[in-house]
Amino acid sequence: MGAGLQRMRCFAKVNLGLQVTGRRDDGLHDLRSVLHTIDLHDTLEYRPAAGLSLRVTCEGMASGTGPADGPDNLVLRAAAAAGLEGGEFTLTKRIPAGAGLGGGSSDAAATLLAVRPDLEMGELHRIAAGLGSDVPFFLYGGACLALGRGDEIYPLPEQTDLHLALAFPGHSLSTPEVYRAWDDSLTSARNPGRVNDFAAWSGAGGDGIPGIANDLEEAAIRIRPSLKDLRSALERSGARAVAMTGSGSAFFGIFDDARSAKEGARRVGEAGFTATAVRSISRAERDREVRERQSRDAD
């Protein structure tokens, strides 16, 4: 790479269970969720330059759904929040926007790690929390328990590889709209303890798979009834467990191995949806990516 050029992979996430525990005085919601990074990723390039600029291109699942490259993009907001006055960013989007996969938040966290490697994790976490609820998680990666509005992060023990089929309906969902629909139904009480089950399962090394529950799924389906067809396609594909990630619109199914996940994605694709096989990315693998980046920068 050229002098000063940094290139980072910005991994997506899935929510392995999500419980809404209440509404806060500030209008946001308290959550309890187990998150895990997956190998679907954006690519962020950064080099020092005069002034801040960003160029965004989209491919794969993100085609047609990518964010604009204006000042509201989380990459530029993260750079400004970190005190960066000049930098040229190029972002290749593969994570669709508005899908519950955390693409923008992952891009923001990668930006912080790229431009402020001198900061301690506590300070990075503080800046990340000011950018969005999911951003702090992506500073850690792997498997984590998220509490509060999602910005209280507690890393879980390393998880064995998860193989998933990720399915995207081709449209995004508005997170505020999904939460408003949840406020009208208050379905959380129907799914007590499921997130606790998943946290214990993760720490125990993954024997068996507990039922997955996402409190926001019912609200998302009321907004977009066609999401029920997407869920059904994953269920028919042979997945051992199926759930929506985040506030949608993407769903995932968990499979026994890479081959069955790939076959499951193929079947979902035949049903008319965009689908791909993905695997989990551990914290150690994410950290190795950052260390390799730092080593390249030092050369």
Least confident of 21-25, 31-35, 137-141, 238-242: 21-25
Indicate if 205 and 105 belong to the same structural domain. no
1 lies in some domain: no
Q: How far is the CA of 276 from the CAs of 44, 166, 238, 257, in angstroms?
A: 22, 5, 14, 14
pLDDT at 1: 41
38 torsion bin: left (phi>0), alpha (psi -120 to 50), beta (else):
beta
Q: What CA–CA distance (Å, rounded) separates 66 from 96?
A: 6
Residues 112 and 252 in one domain: no
Confidence of residue 185 (pLDDT cuts 50, 70, 90): confident
Confirm whether 134 is a catalytic residue: yes
Assess whether 120 and 11 both reside in one domain: yes
Q: Specify whether 256 is located in the same domain as 292.
A: no
Does residue 174 lie in a domain region? yes
Identify whether residues 183 and 256 lie together within a single domain: yes
Q: Does residue 70 form part of some domain?
A: yes
Catalytic residue among 107, 134, 151, 215: 134
Write down the catalytic residue from 13, 42, 107, 215: 13
Say whether pLDDT at 190 is over 80: no
Which two tokens mark 236? 């028919």
Q: For 60-118, what is each residue's pLDDT tens digit?
A: 999 877 667 777 899 999 999 999 999 999 999 999 999 999 999 999 999 999 999 99
Confidence of residue 267 (pLDDT cuts 50, 70, 90): very high
143 and 274 together in one domain: no
Q: How confident is the model at residue 192 (pLDDT cuts 50, 70, 90)?
A: very low
Range of the domain at 247: 163-279
Q: Do 65 and 186 lie in a common domain?
A: no
pLDDT at position 138 = 97
**CA–CA dist 102, 119 (Å, integer):** 23
The closest alpha carbon to 135, from 182, 220, 77, 203, belongs to: 77
Q: Is residue 154 part of a domain?
A: yes
Report pTM.
0.91
22 within a domain of the structure (yes/no): yes
- Residues 86 and 103 both lie in one domain: yes
130 and 83 in a common domain: yes
- Give the mean pLDDT of the chain: 88
Does residue 54 contact residue 235 with C-beta atoms inside 8 Å? Answer: no
195 lies in the same domain as 92: no
Omega cis (within 30) before 172: no
What's the number of domains the chain is made of? 2
- Residue 223: pLDDT above 50? yes
Verify that 153 and 294 share a domain, yes or no: yes
What per-residue confidence (pLDDT) applies to 106? 97
Res 186: pLDDT = 58
Is 153 in the same domain as 215?
Answer: no
CATH no. for residue 273?
Answer: 3.30.70.890
Residue 13 a catalytic site member:
yes
